[in-house]
């Protein structure tokens, strides 16, 4: 098992702050920054186009990065396209599929806007008949709820692998089985699982998986879309250089594989940095990363639950990805976050966490929740300082 203390020097800002906003964006270790600087200085060139040596080198490194990420997500099956982030991946999918106007999509209520609004947009444009929103507000996605909502017209189920509000984990393997039995497509929003859990996409059995590099120690502005079947999708979200098969007259065919999703010059340097992030995490061991995040989440839940006036929103599940939401009676979540920074240089997120449909139910007065989220460089001391400082805040209003 790695030691959080030992890796902290890879993240220089930790000398100055207690960083507990990892579910929003994680920190990049030195090696991720260094490989990007090396790429900038030594082989910055466009990929898949020119034949000169820098172009060949950049193309080699870009394709190598793709292989590293495919391996990180469980092996050689499927194709992996670089995107800007999870949100872009979800939109590329929603736009790319050839919908029948009677199709329906099922999503849980607790989803992030990135896995709600692309489907609502299709509904508003009449491209699909509707979006069926299932599930409650306890952080748990139940296979039975999805099964009950399935009709002959259900074409897609789209689920967040891990919740950015609760830190809970969805039973994606069982959902995949259910979808396969009913011949329904299954999309996973992997924004919060990719950083914390060992993810084997072939084993899970989904059709699509989107993730963001910046949440798994990679650079900001690069992420990925994994697709089980790489044949060309009917409606490319973006058309232009790089994604084309053949242009004839005013029409064109789309390339198969990852290229169809990578119109225009990709973020080559970002992809190289993201691959180094995946290597870094692999060196730590994803099983151990998962165990570390989960143990710290439980320490947070235990400590915060003891404080009068604090309500912990995250359920104490056996497995959690390290994000814990809570509120302090009589104090606005933004005030809590502000005080944590001012008093102890603790960075947390406050607000609706891009989950308005859920927040309208669990925090109807507005303001959302406070969310503290850990990663592999956080320690028990970080958690204990958070708990002690939240207690100070709660005592001030008692």
Nearer to ligand PMP among residue 188 and residue 296 (C-beta): 188
Selected from 192, 293, 350, 373, the binder of ligand PMP by CB under 6 A is 192
Short-list 40, 39, 95, CA closest to 243:
95
354 is catalytic: yes
Calculate the CA 209 to chain-centre distance. Answer: 10
Q: What is the 3-state secondary structure (H, E, C) of 50-112?
A: CCCHHHHHHHHHHHHHHHHHHHHCCCCCCEEEEECCHHHHHHHHHHHCCCCCCCEEEEECCCC
Q: Does 293 help bind ligand PMP (rule: CB under 6 A)?
A: no
Select the span of 84-92, 130-138, 231-239, 252-260 touching ligand PMP (CB under 6 A).
Answer: 84-92
d(CA 266, CA 274): 13
* Binding residues among 222-241 for ligand PMP as defined by CB under 6 A: none
Q: Long-range contact list for 367-370, CB < 8 A, 24+ apart?
A: 367/332, 367/333, 367/334, 368/333, 369/165, 369/313, 369/325, 369/326, 369/327, 369/333, 370/325, 370/326, 370/327, 370/328, 370/333, 370/336, 370/337
Q: Does 314 help bind ligand PMP (rule: CB under 6 A)?
A: no
Whether 295 and 379 have beta carbons less than 8 Å apart is answered as no
Q: Does 22 help bind ligand PMP (rule: CB under 6 A)?
A: no
Q: Does 87 help bind ligand PMP (rule: CB under 6 A)?
A: yes
Short-list 296, 294, 287, 299, CA closest to 317:
294
Q: Does 325 help bind ligand PMP (rule: CB under 6 A)?
A: no
Nearer to ligand PMP among residue 87 and residue 293 (C-beta): 87
Q: For ligand PMP, what does the binding mask look like between residues 340 and 379, x meaning CB under 6 A?
A: --------------x-------------------------
Select the span of 46-54, 82-90, 133-141, 267-275 touching ligand PMP (CB under 6 A).
Answer: 82-90
Q: Does 114 help bind ligand PMP (rule: CB under 6 A)?
A: yes
CB of 158 vs ligand PMP, minimal distance in Å: 11
Select the span of 65-73, 107-115, 238-246, 257-265 touching ligand PMP (CB under 6 A).
Answer: 107-115
Nearer to ligand PMP among residue 104 and residue 112 (C-beta): 112
- For helices 30-42 and 268-284, the axis angle rounded to 10 degrees is 150
Catalytic site residue from 179, 210, 294, 354: 354
Select the span of 9-17, 71-79, 98-106, 184-192 touching ligand PMP (CB under 6 A).
Answer: 184-192
Calculate the CA 113 to chain-centre distance. Answer: 12
Nearer to ligand PMP among residue 346 and residue 355 (C-beta): 355
> What secondary structure letter does DSSP report for 396?
H
Q: For the chain, count helices (H), then strands (E).
A: 13, 15
Catalogue the active-site residues.
Answer: 354
Chain positions contacting ligand PMP, by CB under 6 A: 23-24, 85-87, 112, 114-115, 160, 164, 189, 191-192, 212, 354
């Amino acid at each position: 098992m790695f030691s959080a203390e030992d890796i902290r020097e890879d993240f220089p800002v930790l000398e100055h702050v207690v960083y507990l906003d990892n579910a929003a964006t994680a920190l990049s270790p030195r090696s991720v920054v260094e490989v990007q600087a090396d790429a900038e200085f030594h082989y910055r060139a466009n990929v898949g186009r020119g034949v000169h040596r820098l172009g060949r080198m950049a193309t080699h490194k870009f394709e190598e990065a793709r292989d590293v990420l495919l391996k990180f997500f469980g092996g050689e099956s499927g194709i992996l396209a670089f995107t800007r982030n999870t949100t872009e991946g979800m939109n590329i999918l929603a736009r790319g599929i050839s919908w029948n106007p009677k199709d329906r999509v099922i999503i849980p209520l607790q989803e992030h806007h990135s896995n709600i609004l692309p489907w609502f947009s299709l509904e508003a444009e009449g491209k699909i008949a509707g979006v069926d929103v299932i599930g409650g507000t306890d952080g748990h996605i139940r296979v039975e709820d999805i099964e009950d909502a399935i009709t002959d017209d259900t074409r897609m189920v789209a689920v967040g692998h891990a919740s950015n509000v609760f830190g809970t984990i969805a039973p994606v393997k069982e959902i995949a089985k259910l979808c396969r039995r009913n011949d329904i497509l299954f999309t996973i929003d992997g924004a919060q699982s990719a950083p914390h859990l060992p993810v084997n996409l072939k084993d899970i059995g989904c059709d699509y998986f989107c993730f963001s590099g910046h949440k798994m120690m990679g650079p900001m502005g690069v992420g990925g879309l994994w697709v089980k079947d790489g044949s060309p999708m009917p409606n490319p979200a973006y058309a232009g250089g790089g994604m084309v098969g053949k242009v004839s007259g005013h029409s064109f065919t789309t390339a198969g594989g990852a290229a169809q999703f990578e119109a225009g010059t990709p973020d080559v340097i970002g992809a190289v940095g993201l691959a180094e992030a995946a290597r870094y995490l692999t060196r730590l061991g994803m099983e151990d990363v998962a165990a570390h995040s989960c143990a710290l989440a439980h320490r947070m839940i235990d400590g915060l639950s003891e404080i009068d006036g604090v309500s912990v929103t995250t359920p104490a599940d056996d497995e959690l990805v390290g994000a814990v939401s809570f509120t302090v009676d009589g104090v606005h979540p933004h005030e809590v976050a502000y005080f944590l920074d001012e008093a102890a240089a603790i960075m947390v997120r406050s607000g609706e966490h891009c989950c308005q449909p859920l927040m309208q139910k669990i925090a109807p007065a507005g303001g959302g929740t406070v969310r503290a989220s850990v990663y592999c460089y956080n320690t028990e001391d970080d958690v204990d300082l958070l708990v002690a400082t939240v207690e100070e805040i709660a005592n001030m209003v008692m």
